[in-house]
């Protein structure tokens, strides 16, 4: 387990503000957030590379705040890998062991075991200058893991790699993390990367965690409209809610959305693009609850799904399967409707500081 309690670090006009975080043993936790939110600064504070102004850093029950970095039992892989250019791959991986006083035989044995696990034994005699991005990442990971850290810190580990290599390295990191049962903090600004590895994640903005939870929570139950936008919720409508008991009607621009739960006043309605159903309107079919007339606008084929702008009184974005989109295109001259399921609609109240007027549980 690694934790931060009230961690504060000021850097000019920027500051981490009393950050509280607990990552469980063997958990893979991803720190998400836009550029400049403080993700790298937080990792540097945790591993001791940056002095903090207030708060504590804990590993298990031990307060390591005053310990120098090499005594915190953390493996850190920075964004630029920090591979020493004048050393071979073998020497880079074994560098920390040499600093600790391990003899040549121990270094050779441990380097061989680590490179076997990461499948980079063929690289041992090479210099870093000739390595690919993926190879450099594996070398940096091996150098961090060879010291048997209690916690692994990864700063944007695949940001500089091409898409295919990025997916491969993420799979490798996840495999090793689970095999070793290693508590891992992984900084990223890429949602697909987080989805591929995370047990839980937290969104850091302006030096503060705005929400921490499972990826399901962050994707489908964001606390604010800003978080919904960051998590690519796609359809965010501001409106006024009125309730008749267990359900509420929310009046948005050019539409009225019915939701479960009791809400009153200013709210935002969030509907993820993959939860919008687009279908042909049957002859004489009236528009029922949460049914909206739409037309097919701009479409982008993103391999696993097609992102479609839906034109209509209530402009929306939908993610459709290629087969479903193709079928709709063939019926383009017929009327289409977008259908929203009450169970898939998330409501954000404008002020979360005031007592909420609602009866449903998120």
Residue 357 forms part of a structural domain: no
* Co-location of 207 and 246 in the same domain: no
pTM value is 0.90
**pLDDT digit string (tens) for 216-226?**
999 999 999 99
Judge if 87 and 152 occupy the same domain. Answer: yes
Whether the pLDDT of residue 358 is over 60: the answer is no
Q: Based on the domain organization, do 189 and 257 belong to the same domain? A: no
Residue 291 in tokens: 């049914």
User: Checking DSSP bridges between strand 200-205 and strand 28-32, what pairing results, if any?
Assistant: parallel
Amino acid 353: pLDDT: 41
Range of the domain at 120: 2-225
Q: Say if residue 293's pLDDT is above 80.
A: yes
Question: What is the structure's pLDDT at 356?
Answer: 36
**CA 290/CA 228 separation, integer angstroms:** 21
Q: Give a yes or no: residue 297 inside a domain.
A: yes
- With respect to residue 42, please indicate whether it lies within any of the assigned structural domains: yes
Q: Are residues 92 and 140 in the same domain?
A: yes
Confidence of residue 351 (pLDDT cuts 50, 70, 90): low
For 42-86, what is each residue's pLDDT tens digit?
A: 999 999 999 999 999 999 999 999 999 999 999 999 999 999 999
Taking all residues of the chain, what is their mean pLDDT, rounded to a whole number?
A: 92
286 falls within a domain: yes
* Tens digit of each residue's pLDDT (9 = 90 or more) over 217-261: 999 999 999 999 999 998 999 999 999 888 999 999 888 999 999
In the chain, the percentage of residues whose pLDDT exceeds 70 is: 96
Cα 184 to chain centroid distance, Å, stands at 14
Query: Are 197 and 265 in the same domain?
Result: no
CATH number at residue 50: 3.40.50.300
**Which distant-in-sequence residues (6+ apart) come within 8 Å of 330 by Cβ?**
none
Q: Are residues 120 and 71 in the same domain?
A: yes
Instruction: Give 28's strand partners.
Output: 184
The arithmetic mean of pLDDT across residues 166-189, rounded, is 94
Q: What is the rounded distance in angstroms from the CA atom of residue 209 to the CA atom of residue 206?
A: 8
CA atoms of 149 and 72, how far apart (whole Å): 9
Residue 171 has pLDDT above 70, yes or no: yes
Sheet holding 235-243, edge to edge: 255-260, 247-252, 235-243, 265-271, 345-349
pLDDT confidence of residue 357: 33
Task: Please indicate, yes or no, if residue 356 is contained in any of the structural domains.
Answer: no
Cα–Cα distances in angstroms (integers) from residue 64 to residues 51, 120, 175, in the given order: 12, 33, 28
Q: Judge if 203 and 240 occupy the same domain.
A: no
Shared domain for 60 and 192, answered yes or no, is yes
Whether residues 212 and 64 fall in one domain: yes
Packing angle, helices 133-145 and 104-118, rounded to 10: 130
User: Residue 173 pLDDT > 50, yes or no?
Assistant: yes
Chosen domain end from 181, 197, 225: 225
Number of domains in the chain: 2
Last residue of a domain, one of 166, 198, 225: 225
Q: What is the largest CA-CA distance in the chain?
A: 84
265 plus 208 within the same structural domain = no
Task: Specify whether 258 is located in the same domain as 210.
Answer: no
All residues at 6 or more sequence positions from 1 whose CB lies less than 8 Å from its CB, including other chains: 22, 23, 24, 25, 58, 59, 60, 183
- Considering only 15-29, 134-148, 309-323, 343-357, which range has the smallest mean pLDDT? 343-357
What pLDDT sits at residue 360? 29
CATH number of the domain within which 319 lies = 2.40.50.100
- The reply to whether 39 falls in a domain is yes
Indicate if 208 and 253 belong to the same structural domain. no
How many CB atoms sit inside 10 A of residue 221's CB?
Answer: 18
Tokens for 252? 């948005």
Residue that terminates a domain, selected from 206, 225, 244: 225
Can you give the C-alpha Rg of the chain in angstroms? 25
HSE-CB for 199 with a 13 A CA cutoff: 15
Residue 354 lies in a domain: no
Per the domain annotation, does 362 fall within a domain?
no
Residue pair 237/253 in contact (Cβ under 8 Å)? The answer is yes
């Amino acid at each position: 387990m690694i934790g931060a309690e009230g961690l504060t670090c000021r850097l000019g006009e920027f500051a981490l503000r009393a950050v509280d975080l607990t990552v469980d043993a063997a958990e893979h936790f991803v720190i998400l957030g836009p550029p400049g939110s403080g993700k790298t600064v937080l990792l540097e504070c945790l591993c001791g590379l940056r002095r903090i102004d207030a708060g504590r850093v804990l590993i298990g029950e031990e307060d390591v705040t005053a310990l120098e970095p090499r005594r915190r039992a953390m493996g850190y892989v920075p964004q630029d890998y920090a591979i020493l250019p004048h050393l071979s791959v073998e020497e880079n991986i074994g560098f920390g062991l040499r600093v600790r006083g391990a003899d040549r035989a121990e270094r050779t044995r441990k380097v061989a075991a680590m490179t076997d696990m990461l499948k980079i034994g063929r690289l041992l005699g090479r210099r870093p200058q000739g390595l690919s991005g993926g190879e450099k990442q594996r070398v940096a990971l091996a150098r961090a893991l060879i010291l048997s850290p209690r916690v692994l810190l990864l700063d944007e580990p695949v940001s500089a790699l091409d898409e295919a290599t990025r997916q491969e390295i993420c799979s490798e990191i996840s495999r090793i993390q689970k095999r070793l049962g290693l508590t891992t903090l992984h900084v990223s600004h890429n949602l697909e990367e987080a989805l591929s590895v995370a047990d839980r994640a937290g969104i850091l903005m302006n030096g503060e965690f705005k929400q921490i939870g499972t990826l399901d929570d962050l994707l489908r139950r964001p606390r604010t409209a800003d978080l919904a936008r960051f998590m690519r919720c796609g359809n965010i409508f501001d409106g006024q809610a009125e309730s008749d008991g267990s359900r509420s009607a929310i009046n948005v621009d050019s539409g009225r959305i019915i939701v479960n739960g009791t809400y009153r006043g200013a709210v935002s309605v969030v509907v993820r693009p993959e939860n919008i159903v687009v279908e042909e309107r049957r002859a004489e079919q009236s528009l029922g609850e949460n049914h909206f007339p739409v037309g097919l606008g701009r479409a982008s084929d993103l391999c696993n799904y097609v992102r479609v702008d839906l034109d209509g009184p209530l402009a929306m974005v939908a993610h459709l399967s290629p087969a479903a989109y193709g079928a709709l295109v063939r019926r383009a001259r017929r009327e289409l409707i977008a259908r929203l399921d009450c169970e898939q609609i998330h409501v954000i109240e404008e002020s979360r500081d005031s007592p909420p007027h609602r009866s449903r549980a998120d």
